């Protein structure tokens, strides 16, 4: 295995992941010994508006994929409106390849609980929810245990640490639908309805849970808050780039020697990340990859020096998204990978709008035909035409995201499609995959 250079190793900036290797850091006594709840004590002595200003100043951007400025979002919550305010943590991590929130909640659940209390205090909420993916049984167990410990220790409930501030926190498990990671579908699900997206605007900031002002933030966003409170905005901005500040947890999967989570300052290049992960597996050359999950356009081996921050990835033609870096080699097929992702989107489409519901259904059928050796040149136009009718015409981001692997794989790897169609490549699917197609 190749060893990363000292310069590359220095790019590791363990902040949110720093307790992951401490045994039992998920227990309150261990967490407290490792600085736990020190940020909460500090925050409760600060005016809520000053906390919002601190988060704005840090430049923290949402870690759920969109990168929206967190302080700005908190600042949208109307004040003195007489309505209850809510904080909802989106822990429904489900984007293919994404794996940063679940390990955080398993290894260090109190950091999220502490972030929830500080963020709720800042936006003047007295009730908060963590909506966690249904399949994440172990992480949910750890979180519930942490919440119980926090109540017993006086970090949750009435008059927290004698400050006069009250907060209740509920951990709610979803039922395993990817669409419930879309913030408004999540809110509907939390209210007990079928999880389907709502029209935006109005945004949750003004019309969220029970039609009240609500901040919906990702796990990584909220877990960053205690560190910013303790270290200050200037320290946070020593990591990352001018517009993408702080550390980021990158999840590497696929053809690297050591897949896993690597927390680095934003702006590290893909080449350096691969080096941190021990390099590509022996005999494999990087051919294509996703910067932030399957909803982000594929990039190629030629993009290996792309800096992994919001702006640089956008300049390369993709989206940083959830920093789920899935790496594929010259031994992997971009057509087949795209087909597998499309099967996922087709399965997870909530069916509310026609472009996504019907478009994904048809695209899956076309992929099956191509991969069975029955495709035609016309199929490529059909794919592009269908994708164009989904993108920008869908009710929520799921539809748009589904088109990303289709259009980008056709942009970079059209020859692979032609090889199936013109018989140079052996069919990947048997003819019976076409049954019903």
Least distance CB 229 / ligand SF4 (angstroms): 36
Q: Which residue has the tokens 């929810």?
A: 129
Residues in contact with ligand SF4, counted by CB under 6 A, come to a total of 14
**CB nearer ligand NAD, residue 108 or residue 416:** 108
Bond from prior residue into 202 cis (ω within 30 degrees of 0): yes
Which residue among 48, 59, 65, 246 contacts ligand NAD (CB under 6 A)? 65
Q: Is residue 341 within the footprint of ligand SF4 (CB under 6 A)? A: no
User: Beta strand pairing status for 260-265 and 214-218?
Assistant: unpaired
Measured from each CB, the residue nearest to ligand NAD is 65
- Tally the C-alpha atoms within 13 A of residue 152's C-alpha that lie toward its C-beta: 9
Q: Is residue 71 within the footprint of ligand NAD (CB under 6 A)? A: no
Total Cβ atoms within 10 A of residue 36: 22
Cα of 404 vs its chain's centroid, Å: 16
Q: In a 3-state reduction of DSSP, which class is residue 245?
A: strand
Q: Is residue 323 within the footprint of ligand NAD (CB under 6 A)? A: no
Measured from each CB, the residue nearest to ligand SF4 is 356
With contact defined as beta carbons under 8 Å apart, do 271 and 304 qualify? yes
Binding mask 193-212 for ligand SF4 (x = CB under 6 A): ----x---------------
Q: Which stretch binds ligand NAD (CB under 6 A): 59-67, 77-85, 108-116, 254-262?
A: 59-67
CA separation, residue 417 to residues 253, 361, 365 (Å): 25, 19, 15
User: In sequence order, what are the residues at sequence separation of 6 or more whose Cβ sits closer than 8 angstroms to the Cβ of residue 106?
Assistant: 26, 138, 139, 142
**CB nearer ligand SF4, residue 152 or residue 200:** 200
With contact defined as beta carbons under 8 Å apart, do 207 and 86 qualify? no
Q: Is residue 405 within the footprint of ligand NAD (CB under 6 A)? A: no
Partner interacting with residue 235 (select from ligand SF4, ligand NAD, none; CB below 5-8 Å by kind): none
Partner interacting with residue 272 (select from ligand SF4, ligand NAD, none; CB below 5-8 Å by kind): none
Host H or E run for residue 404? helix 397-412
Q: Which stretch binds ligand NAD (CB under 6 A): 114-122, 145-153, 318-326, 350-358?
A: 318-326
Within positions 393 to 432, which residues make up the interface with ligand SF4, using CB under 6 A? 394-396, 398-399
């Amino acid at each position: 295995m190749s060893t990363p250079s000292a310069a590359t190793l220095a790019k590791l900036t363990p902040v949110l992941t720093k307790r992951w290797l401490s045994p039992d850091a998920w227990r309150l006594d261990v967490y407290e010994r490792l600085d736990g709840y020190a940020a909460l004590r500090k925050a409760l002595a600060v005016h809520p508006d000053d906390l919002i200003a601190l988060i704005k100043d840090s430049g923290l951007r949402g870690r759920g994929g969109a990168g929206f400025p967190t302080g700005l979002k908190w600042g949208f919550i109307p004040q003195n409106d007489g309505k209850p305010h809510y904080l909802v943590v989106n822990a429904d991590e489900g984007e293919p390849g994404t794996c940063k929130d679940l390990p955080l909640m398993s290894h260090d659940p109190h950091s999220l609980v502490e972030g929830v209390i500080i963020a709720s205090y800042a936006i003047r909420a007295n009730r908060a929810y963590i909506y966690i993916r249904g399949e994440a049984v172990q992480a949910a167990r750890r979180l519930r245990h942490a919440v119980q410990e926090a109540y017993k220790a006086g970090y949750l409930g009435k008059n927290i640490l004698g400050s006069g501030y009250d907060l209740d926190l509920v951990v709610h498990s979803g039922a395993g639908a990817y669409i419930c990671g879309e913030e408004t579908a999540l809110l509907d699900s939390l209210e007990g309805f079928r999880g389907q997206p709502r029209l935006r605007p109005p945004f949750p900031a003004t019309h969220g849970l029970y039609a009240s002002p609500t901040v919906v933030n990702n796990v990584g966003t909220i877990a960053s808050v205690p560190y910013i409170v303790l270290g200050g905005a200037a320290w946070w901005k020593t990591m990352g780039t001018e517009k993408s500040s702080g550390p980021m947890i990158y999840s590497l999967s696929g053809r690297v020697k050591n897949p896993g989570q690597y927390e680095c300052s934003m702006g590290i290049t893909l080449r350096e990340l691969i080096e941190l992960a021990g390099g590509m597996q022996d005999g494999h050359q990087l051919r294509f990859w996703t910067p932030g999950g399957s909803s982000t356009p594929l990039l190629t081996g030629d993009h290996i020096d792309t800096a992994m921050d919001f702006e640089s990835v956008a300049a390369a033609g993709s989206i940083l998204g959830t920093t789920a870096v899935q790496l594929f080699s010259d031994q992997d097929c971009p057509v087949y990978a795209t087909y597998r992702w499309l099967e996922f989107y087709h399965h997870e489409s909530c069916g509310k709008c026609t472009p996504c519901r019907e478009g994904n259904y048809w695209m899956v059928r076309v992929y099956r035909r191509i991969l069975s050796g029955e495709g035609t040149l016309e199929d490529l136009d059909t794919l592009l035409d269908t994708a164009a009718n989904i993108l920008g015409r869908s009710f929520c981001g799921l539809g748009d995201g589904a088109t990303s692997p289709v259009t980008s794989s056709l942009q970079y790897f059209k020859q692979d499609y032609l090889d199936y169609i013109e018989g140079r490549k052996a069919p990947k699917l048997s003819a019976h995959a076409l049954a019903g197609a």
